[in-house]
């Protein structure tokens, strides 16, 4: 029985890993296609039909490019930097519940790699760790622009982690559990989605997720006009690709978190009224979950081509003076509403 569990989990881990990488890979293409769509042009369309082979070409190009390690750089940390960024991006998907149970024969398979009872905190910890990749890489490059980019990334990420954590606390007050599986299971159907009870919290979480992923309008860490390229300016070939890849994986993971925490995860309207068997509900649920994730990824890209970059002081003011007080107010409001509901209804 133990070995069966091991095999099952291994398959699940490999599948999640592969799906994550493929989605991250094709996000690069989709990003350029969306950019083309927003700016009324075609985007890449040479490699294969609709440019579908473009990510493969880019990947191949990155592998064969010359690898340059600057003379003044700290060699070991210079290599470790992108590896840490990639590693932390990949491990955060371990606690996300991708679907309900799947019954094959007499085995019940849970579509989640690890159901730990502090799942939300685990995600939070891994996000906090993500900044090390950027900081180590930026410092090891021995370049002032890289260092500035790394320092900006670190302070930005620390500032927005607080807002993110506070917005999650309000959510946890409503759900009463830290396990992601239970949070998603509570949001059955459509009216139970957490977005209806925590709209302010979701908004704060969304803004903070943009900042944590270093996406426009918060991509101050790689602000070309001020910093040439930011923390990754000395990087070339596959190491640079790892940094970019980690960014896309982070985008995927935060999209799936938003879908799971606020938009019901694998739950869809009328899921138990259609008279489907459990396996079909699970399969449709997984597809629905991925549709929600892709919608969020599209939203990330939409914002990128809509809103210009913030100035650094504006970024800090938004984080500390607007989002954090708003999140605290949201916690107080949630507490009051909970008590009123418990006493009078």
Cβ proximity to other proteins, 24 vs 327, nearer residue: 327
107-110 vs 101-104, strand pairing mode: antiparallel
Q: Which helix (H) or strand (E) holds 109?
A: strand 107-110
Residue 327 engages other proteins in binding (rule: CB under 8 A) = no
Q: Choose which of 98, 139, 218, 243 interacts with other proteins (CB under 8 A).
A: 139
Q: How far is residue 247's CA from residue 252's CA, in Å, rounded to a whole number?
A: 9
Residue 161 engages other proteins in binding (rule: CB under 8 A) = yes
Location of structure tokens 């003076």 = 321
> Taking CB under 8 A as the criterion, which residues in 201-230 touch other proteins?
none
Shortest gap between Cβ of 333 and other proteins (angstroms)?
20
Q: How far is residue 284's CA from residue 99's CA, in Å, rounded to a whole number?
A: 9
Q: How far is residue 7's CA from residue 4's CA, in Å, rounded to a whole number?
A: 5
Q: Choose which of 122, 160, 242, 262 interacts with other proteins (CB under 8 A).
A: 122
User: Nearest 10 degrees: CA dihedral of 171, 174, 179, 183?
Assistant: -90
Residue 173 engages other proteins in binding (rule: CB under 8 A) = no
Cβ proximity to other proteins, 124 vs 298, nearer residue: 124
The length of the chain in residues reads 345
Residue 155 engages other proteins in binding (rule: CB under 8 A) = yes
Q: Residue 249, SS3? A: helix
Residue 150 engages other proteins in binding (rule: CB under 8 A) = yes
Q: Choose which of 17, 87, 132, 298 interacts with other proteins (CB under 8 A).
A: 132
Residue 178 engages other proteins in binding (rule: CB under 8 A) = yes
Cβ proximity to other proteins, 299 vs 320, nearer residue: 320
Q: Choose which of 34, 131, 227, 297 interacts with other proteins (CB under 8 A).
A: 131
Centre a 10 Å sphere on the Cβ of residue 89 and count the other Cβ atoms it contains: 28
Shortest gap between Cβ of 32 and other proteins (angstroms)?
33
Q: Choose which of 47, 128, 169, 174 interacts with other proteins (CB under 8 A).
A: 128
User: Nearest 10 degrees: CA dihedral of 166, 337, 333, 176?
Assistant: -10
The answer to whether the CB of 193 falls within 8 A of the CB of 258 is: no
> Taking CB under 8 A as the criterion, which residues in 51-90 touch other proteins?
77
Q: How far is residue 119's CA from residue 344's CA, in Å, rounded to a whole number?
A: 32
Give the interface with other proteins as residue ranges (CB under 8 A): 77, 116-118, 121-122, 124-125, 127-129, 131-132, 135-136, 138-139, 147, 150-151, 154-155, 157-158, 161, 178
């Amino acid at each position: 029985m133990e070995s069966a569990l091991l095999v099952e989990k291994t398959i699940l881990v490999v599948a999640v890993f592969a799906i994550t990488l493929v989605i991250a890979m094709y996000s690069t293409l989709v990003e350029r296609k969306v950019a083309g769509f927003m700016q009324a042009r075609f985007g890449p369309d040479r490699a294969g039909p609709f440019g579908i082979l473009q990510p493969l070409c880019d990947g191949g190009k990155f592998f064969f490019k010359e690898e340059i390690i600057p003379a003044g750089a700290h060699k070991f940390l210079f290599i470790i930097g992108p590896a840490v960024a990639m590693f932390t991006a990949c491990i955060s998907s371990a606690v996300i519940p991708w679907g309900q149970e799947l019954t094959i024969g007499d085995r019940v398979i849970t579509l989640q790699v690890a159901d730990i009872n502090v799942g939300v905190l685990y995600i939070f910890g891994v996000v906090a760790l993500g900044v090390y990749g950027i900081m180590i890489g930026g410092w090891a490059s021995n370049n002032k622009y890289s260092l500035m980019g790394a320092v900006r990334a670190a302070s930005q990420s620390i500032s927005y982690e607080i807002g993110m954590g506070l917005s999650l606390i309000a959510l946890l007050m409503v759900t009463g559990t830290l396990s992601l599986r239970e949070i998603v299971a509570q949001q059955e159907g459509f009216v139970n989605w957490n977005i209806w009870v925590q709209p302010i919290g979701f908004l704060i979480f969304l803004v903070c997720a943009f900042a944590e992923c270093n996406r426009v309008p918060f991509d101050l860490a790689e602000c070309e006009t001020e910093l040439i390229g930011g923390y990754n300016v000395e990087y070339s070939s596959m190491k640079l690709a790892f940094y970019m890849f980690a960014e896309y994986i982070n985008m995927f993971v935060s999209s799936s978190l938003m879908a799971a925490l606020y938009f019901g995860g694998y739950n869809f309207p009328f899921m138990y009224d259609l008279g489907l068997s459990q396996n079909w509900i699970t399969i449709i649920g997984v597809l629905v979950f991925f549709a929600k994730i892709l919608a969020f990824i599209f939203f990330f890209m939409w914002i990128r081509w809509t809103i210009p970059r913030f100035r650094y002081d504006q970024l800090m003011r938004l984080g500390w003076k607007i989002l954090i007080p708003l999140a605290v107010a949201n916690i107080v409001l949630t507490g009051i509403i909970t008590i009123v509901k418990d006493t009078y209804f």
